[in-house]
Amino acid sequence: MTEPASASTGLPNWAYFRYRVNRDIGGLVAWFRSRWRESLMFRIAAGAAAFGLFLWIAMFVWLVRDLPEAEALLTYETPLPTVVRGFDGEIVHSYARERRVQLQYADFPQKLIEAFLAAEDKNFFSHGGVDFMGTANAVVDYTLKMGSGERAVGGSTITQQVAKNLLLGDEYSVTRKLKEIILAGRIEQVLTKEQILELYLNEIPLGRRSFGVQAAARAYFDKDVDALELHEMAFLATLPKAPERYGRKGQEQAALARRAFVLDRMEANGFISGSERRAALAKPLGLVQQRAERSADAGYFLEEVRRQLIDQFGETAEDGPNSVYAGGLWVRTSLDTGMQDAAREALREGLLRYHGGRGWTGPLATIDVSEGNWASQLAASPLGIRYRNWRVGVVTQRNGSSARIGFSDGTEAPLGGLPDRLKTGDVIVASPSGGAWQVRTVPEAQGALVVQQAQTGRVLAMQGGFDNRLSDFNRATQAMRQPGSTIKPFVYATGLDSGMTPSTQIDNSRFCYYQGANLGEKCIRGTGSGGQYPMRYGLEQSQNIMTVQIGMTAGMNNVVKAIEKLDIGKFPAYPSTALGAGETTVSRMVAAYAALANHGRLNPPTVIDYVQDRRGKVLWRADKRECRGCSMPQWDGKPMPRFGVRGEQAMDARTAFQVMHMLRGAVSRGTATVLNPLGLPLFGKTGTTTGPKDVWFIGGTQAIVAGAYVGFDQPRNMGGYAYGGTIAAPIIKSLIEKSRDKWSDVPAVAPAGVRMVRVDRRSGKQVFDGWPTDDPRSAIIWEAFKPDTEPDRYTRQDEIAARRNEILALIRAGSANLRASEDDDPDAMPRNLAEEKGGLY
């Protein structure tokens, strides 16, 4: 038996081991010194080796000094677009500059994973991040192609591609490759193979602005990954090598060849059988050239949502973790797509109806077609239209009575219906007609329409023009226009708050006011029937003189304060303000009318209900009311917890109901009777401004309020026949008809403190011997009063006086019509026009 080496020395094992190390090192040092003294070549070789080691260490230090930390991938957040949902939770849009969808590893079909492994890294589950054989081949290929300008094969593993895509970038250099190799090893120590594959399949660029397999599946096949067939999975696996090549038109054969290679590799690796491979090879590529539209046609609404999100959360990743284009936000909006469709079509029909036969309004733009690249210029243009079968195109030729139109896809067709002013290079709108295309006219007049829930402030629909692809200026929120007579309800509300009632008699003969020592007193005569009338009559028939009388009696300072409290705007305290001589937006006016329907409570209009981050945490919500006691672990025996009332009390609830009740008469027998056949308990007010330059209607039910205006972007006369009752009100009528199921026929509910009293409609006095009927012209109606403000009883003397006033009114009306018929100007407006008759005249 051999004795342990330490036995001869008597030393412990550890001491003996140290002794042997010191002896061997000492011998090596002595040998090195001897060779160093005796051999020049040894000294040169040793120096070179030392220098090489130093360079290697220096290079390694240089490579890793600013190398990203692999641990960063543990908390890496994929840049994701913001997904927008409508009021019912359905996806209506996404804000994305790149197509990205994040999936979990379990969401990827196994065959799809195997297709990418076969094409990119068959040894992925066995190597430690680097395939040294593949790297060696890449080095050889790089050496052979050096100086040729041709890019060498990468030889990168999936782990290396993750390092490149997420941490390093796509710089083509040796140093980047070395960093990639180092990082790949570190990533393998930090992440599991499944985590690496999940990152890879979510981040790999695959062309058509898509990143990750789910986005690519949508871009190339308009499918989700779980619906892909084998040949489609194999095609996606071809894309990492040339993401912008295989999906292009004209590259079908190259794509089929590469797909066949992937299928061959899948069979060779045992992922699929031979019969599966042959079946997949027989399938066509099946690429879609254009994805199915997954966005609601609500451009103005969605742009308003985007603008508000950017203001609050930022636009890009540099602005914060919850940015619009990288944060992966989930946004619930109040958009009702059915209501939006109705609003869009109703406004378009109204604009086209007003435009009538005025003829072609000119080109949308012009481009130079002489260089032959008109298709690319047109494709780069932001102009577009989504109306019926209309398309935006460019006139490529115009020779007398013949012309041709070209589209962004490069196709051309004959063009008919040629206006005289049409010329080559004009960008126009056209629609198919027979075997050719016909020039169409986009109305020059524009407008806006907003639909809002009265009790919540949620905007259900918003259309800010004919088409946002032609003009992104949102006239619903950005266009400052004079409201005309639609401001009058708030003048009447101020009068009611100052002690008047709907039956208060107001003089409609003339209005006089003192203009100062130099100008003296000025008097304006009424344009309608003179005499004394109940307040209700003035609002129903939009009488200007009565409105100004009420405003001046209640105090114009009080009127503008009421207008400002309802967030309509800051108006001057002039008599003309009572007739709409200020500026505001459709959105603000609709919100103010919604306050009338909501018993005086004002809810600011909102298009966003709440915003969640990518994990579902609520970041912001419009309804900030708290529900105290809603999260109790056990019931305490008290009444069920409820949310508080929403909105700010901007007007006396009783006053708001009185005004709304009078505005119901404007629909029944006033300036908005075009809406009465709908059979709904509608209230509302028309408006026509001086010129007329703008025509309005705002109103609705106690649940939903809508408003619209029509006018030119650069305000000008719309024609003497343009009134709110003939242009704007029919737009709202069309809206309701197209969305009838969303409008309730439940009558308005009065707040506490309102007394409904039978009154004579002409005198405003209380009656006891009759009842109101469904006839809008009934002499007896229900009227809303605050307690102890009811009018006196109607008497025989009142009836005689009313008859006398009717006769006098007929005489005055006849005289006014006679004067109008003698007017030399055929385009002049009748002198007895009141709003519709109203507004600023």
Name the residues annotated as catalytic: 120, 485
Tokens of 617: 């945490």
Residue 316 DSSP class: S
User: Alpha carbon of 575 to those of 125, 134, 485, 572, 713: distances in Å?
Assistant: 83, 86, 13, 9, 27
Dist. CA 89–CA 612, nearest whole Å: 13
User: Angle, to 10 degrees, between the axis of helix 110-120 and the axis of helix 193-203?
Assistant: 90
State the Cα torsion 69-71-72-75 to the nearest 10°: 180
Dist. CA 500–CA 523, nearest whole Å: 24
| Phi-psi group of 607: left, alpha or beta (phi > 0 → left; psi -120 to 50 → alpha; rest → beta) | alpha
Dist. CA 421–CA 418, nearest whole Å: 8
Residue 167 DSSP class: I
Amino acid at 322: N
Tokens of 169: 């970038």
Dist. CA 466–CA 463, nearest whole Å: 8
Dist. CA 207–CA 250, nearest whole Å: 16
- Which stretches within 39-170 are classed as H helix? 40-64, 110-120, 132-145, 158-163
Tokens of 805: 């006033």
Q: What is the DSSP string of 767-833?
A: -SS----S-TT-SEEEEEE-TT-PPPBP-HHHHHHHHHHHHHHHHHHHHHHHHHHT-S-TTPPPTT-
Tokens of 702: 């106690």
Asked whether the beta carbons of 121 and 265 are under 8 A apart, the reply is: no
Q: Is 534 helix (H, G, I), strand (E, B) or coil?
A: strand
Dist. CA 487–CA 62, nearest whole Å: 73
Asked whether the beta carbons of 696 and 303 are under 8 A apart, the reply is: no
Residue 673, burial from CB neighbour count under 10 angstroms (0-12, 13-18, 19+) = middle
Residue 369 DSSP class: -
Tokens of 201: 């399949």
First-to-last alpha carbon distance for the chain, in angstroms, is 128
List, in sequence order, every residue forming a beta bridge with 612; answer none if it has no partner: 330, 618
Residue 750 DSSP class: P
Asked whether the beta carbons of 692 and 722 are under 8 A apart, the reply is: yes
Q: Positive or negative CA dihedral for 358, 360, 362, 364?
A: positive
User: Alpha carbon of 22 to those of 13, 16, 25, 27, 35: distances in Å?
Assistant: 14, 10, 5, 8, 20
Asked whether the beta carbons of 779 and 760 are under 8 A apart, the reply is: yes
Peptide bond just before 692 cis, omega within 30 deg: yes
Dist. CA 702–CA 553, nearest whole Å: 29
The HSE-up count of residue 315 (CA atoms within 13 Å, CB side) is 2
Tokens of 259: 């797909």
Count of Cβ atoms closer than 10 Å to residue 88 Cβ? 11
- Which stretches within 269-317 are classed as H helix? 274-281, 299-313
Q: Is 656 helix (H, G, I), strand (E, B) or coil?
A: helix
CA–chain centroid gap for 107, Å, is: 30
Q: Is 686 helix (H, G, I), strand (E, B) or coil?
A: strand
